[in-house]
Amino acid sequence: EEEERVRPLRDRLEQSLLDSCPGCRVNGHREKRIPNTLNVSFRFLEGEALLVLLDQYGICASTGSACTAGSVEPSHVLRAMGVPSDWIQGAVRFSLSRYNTEEEIRFVSENVPLIVQRLQGLSALGKLADAQQYRHSDSKPRDRVGARR
């Protein structure tokens, strides 16, 4: 009964974050995972920075399991799963229970994108990646402002 109630909440939160947060990915198999846990990564962001801002909104989350609390090393589990390094540091885990409500999921879904957007604006790695992507784009030098012909 609990699984039938919690899984749809997790799935709604997951879809909401994927739809509203650029640079977001789910870590784990689509179906073969426990129903109450959502682990997502935000590319080029730091999980600890996300946690600080989530806490300011009253949103509880973690950057790893209890057995790795206090570790500054990237998750060995995410590494073993093949999660790319530019995603691992931005991993956050949301754990749900039968006590969570639709309203709480909606609150998290509305506020996490604001937090992610704020941090992406501050992310030096994200800005560097954007600059590199621009340099490697298909645009020709003559199309750029200030380029010589």
Please state, in angstroms and as integers, the Cα–Cα distance from residue 1 to each residue in 35, 80, 97, following that order.
12, 32, 12
Q: What distances in angstroms separate CA 8 from CA 2, 39, 101, 112, 117, one per listed residue?
A: 11, 15, 11, 19, 26
- Sheet with 37-42, side-by-side order of all strands: 24-26, 37-42, 91-95
24 is catalytic: no
**Exactly one of 21, 24, 60, 67 is catalytic; which is it?**
67
Give the position of tokens 């609150």.
107
Q: How many CA atoms lie within 13 A of 20 on its CB side?
A: 17
Residues with catalytic annotation? 67
